[in-house]
């Protein structure tokens, strides 16, 4: 055992960490619970999950995320507001500070993988000063259960996680004390100044979004499931808050994954090993499978309000943030596949949360329309998913995931277009946003109705249903849908003021056209 500990210590020294404190390697979930609670990183709730508070950082910090601009990636990365360039020398200065900081802390190491397809998976080592960091990585990434393989684990990418360390913007070139910096050449990610766990998983997703397309693999900000067999796959594109996790957790279908996938010549594969669901207003009536995970030991709840005495959870409360979160292993969903792989999609559903309330709740897209909506990626940022967002804001996010796409949108669009044609995939646009008026006037589409539309699209019920062309957006709207009142299918019919509808719809269409010209 002494020899093993010495070898592990050497592994950390190879990363540049000379630790003077305790090092915890690949602790089990129960052991990480114990350490987190002992260190006041979280509290146990009534039914088993651990509850953590990451305030004031309760969402991603996109303005503090950078990519090091170096020779291997300089001519490949889609530079701009999303992928902000970071000076290579300043990265080394800040990384040195991170390593020195971690060397003075008790450390929690987690070795795991991203990518369920072994042909494309990446071994990752997380080094965190927090037990919660290791717990999150152990939940969200794919675990190595073979103890011998784990003992000899060889990582390709390293995540250095130092949430209590703040950068000096003047010295280090950051925008604030918070930093999330990716270095493709050194295969290293450094994170500091924020406790929001989502930065860990989204950083590795960005890595996969850079590497996979260069191998001809489509990387997707999407959930996926399948029906009667592994060749009846549905992919759900969408930004946070549009319903990817909710709609893919379908009791009549098998869940592959809820957020990040690759699409190779063999089919779809999950990039993760866990799910990261929004918890606000979660209930057993509307989302029974996800709600049940909040009764499991092994689930981690972020910023969910809990009674300090009874340890009861209040999912309706936004006292800390609207962006309350649940992370849990995909195995907690009853109907899921541990393989994390399946065949090629038969259907693609593009989810949008329309804050204007003018897009139809379901429409069939032609190939050209599918490419158009994929490039545009229209939705509304919902409250809390990013710092400073307090109410829905209309936005365009190319590929339904621009914050995580390292390459130009055209790269992903080309790959997707080829695969849609090669596999004759049907594409649908589903609006999970507002109906009867914009945000503040109308109401958000009821989940049971959206579920009914998704079910009809996936089981073939809409194959022979007549569609009517929307006069403004041009999409094909079904005249009827099983389980859905016909009057809500045409969005204009739900507005009291038809003139106001026309005005708002044309306003949105002009926004679409302007955005498409910028990114096509």
Point out the residues that are catalytic.
60, 202, 221, 240, 244-245, 259, 325
Distance CA 272, CA 270 (A): 5
Identify whether 456 is preceded by a cis peptide bond (ω within 30 of 0).
no
Give 288's contacts (C-beta < 8 A, 6+ positions apart).
Answer: 251
Alpha helical stretches, state H, 345-408: 367-376
- As given in the structure block, the two tokens for residue 370 are 């599918």
Residue 56 phi/psi, 5-degree rounding, is -85, 0
Tokens 């609670």, located at residue: 37
Phi-psi region of 339 (alpha: psi -120 to 50; beta: other; left: phi over 0): alpha
Strand partners, 181: 66, 190
Helix (H, G, I), strand (E, B) or coil at 221: strand
506-512, long-range: CB within 8 Å, 24+ apart, which pairs? 506/472, 507/356, 508/354, 508/356, 508/358, 508/359, 508/378, 508/394, 509/472, 509/473, 511/378, 511/394, 511/396, 512/372, 512/376, 512/378, 512/396, 512/473
Return the bridge partners of 190, or none.
160, 181
Structure tokens at 109: 């190491």
What are 294's two structure tokens? 């909040």
- The span from the CA of 103 to the CA of 390, in Å, is 38
What CA dihedral angle connects 254, 255, 256 and 258, to 10 degrees? 160
CA distance 204 to 212: 12
Q: Give residues with Cβ within 8 angstroms of 96, minimum separation 6.
A: 16
Structure tokens at 292: 């049940």
> Rounded to a whole number, what is the distance in angstroms from the first to the last CA of the chain?
58
In angstroms, the CA 420 to CA 415 distance is 9
At residue 180, the 3 state secondary structure works out as strand
């Amino acid at each position: 055992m002494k020899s093993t500990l010495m070898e592990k210590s050497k592994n950390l020294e190879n990363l540049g960490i000379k630790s003077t404190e305790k090092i915890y390697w690949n602790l089990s979930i129960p052991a990480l619970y114990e350490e987190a609670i002992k260190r006041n990183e979280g509290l146990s709730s009534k039914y088993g999950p651990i509850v953590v508070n990451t305030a004031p950082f309760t969402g991603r910090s996109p303005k503090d995320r950078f990519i090091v601009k170096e020779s291997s990636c300089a001519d490949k990365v889609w530079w701009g507001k999303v992928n902000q360039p970071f000076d290579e020398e300043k990265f080394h200065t800040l990384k040195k500070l991170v390593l020195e900081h971690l060397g003075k802390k008790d450390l929690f190491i987690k070795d795991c993988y991203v990518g369920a397809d072994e042909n494309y998976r990446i071994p990752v080592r997380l080094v965190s000063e927090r037990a919660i960091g290791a717990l999150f990585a152990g939940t969200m990434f794919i675990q190595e259960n073979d103890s011998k393989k784990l003992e000899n684990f060889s990582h390709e990418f390293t995540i250095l996680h130092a949430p209590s360390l703040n950068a000096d913007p003047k010295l280090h070139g950051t925008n604030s004390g918070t930093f999330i910096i990716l270095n493709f050449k050194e295969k290293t990610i450094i994170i500091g100044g924020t406790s929001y766990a989502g930065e860990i998983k989204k950083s590795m997703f960005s890595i996969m979004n850079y590497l996979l397309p260069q191998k001809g693999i489509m990387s997707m900000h999407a959930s996926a499931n399948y029906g009667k067999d592994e060749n009846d796959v549905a992919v759900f594109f969408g930004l946070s808050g549009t319903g990817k996790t909710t709609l893919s957790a379908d009791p009549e279908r098998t869940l592959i994954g809820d957020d990040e996938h690759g699409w190779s010549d063999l089919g779809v594969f999950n990039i993760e090993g866990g799910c990261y669901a929004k918890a606000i207003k979660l209930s057993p009536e509307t989302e029974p499978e996800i709600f049940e995970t909040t009764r499991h030991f092994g689930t981690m709840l972020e910023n969910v309000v809990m009674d300090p005495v009874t340890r009861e959870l209040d999912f309706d409360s936004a006292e800390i943030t609207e962006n309350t979160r649940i992370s849990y292993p995909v195995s907690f969903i009853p109907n899921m596949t541990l393989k994390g792989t399946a065949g090629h999609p038969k259907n693609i559903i593009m989810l949008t949360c329309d804050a204007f309330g003018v897009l139809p709740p379901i429409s069939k897209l032609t190939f050209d329309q599918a490419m158009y909506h994929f490039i545009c990626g229209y939705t509304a940022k919902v409250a809390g998913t990013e710092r400073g967002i307090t109410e829905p804001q209309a936005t365009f996010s190319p590929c339904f995931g621009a914050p995580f796409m390292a390459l130009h949108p055209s790269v992903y669009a080309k790959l997707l277009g080829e695969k849609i044609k090669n596999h004759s995939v049907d594409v649908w646009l589903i609006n999970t946003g507002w109906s009867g008026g914009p945000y503040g006037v109308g109401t958000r589409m009821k989940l049971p109705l959206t579920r009914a539309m998704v079910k009809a699209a996936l089981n073939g019920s809409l194959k022979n249903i007549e569609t009517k062309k929307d006069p403004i957006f041009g999409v094909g709207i079904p005249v009827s849908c099983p389980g859905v009142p016909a009057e809500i299918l045409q969005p204009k019919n739900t507005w009291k003021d038809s003139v106001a509808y026309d005005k708002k719809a044309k306003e949105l269409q002009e926004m679409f056209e302007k955005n498409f010209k910028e990114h096509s």
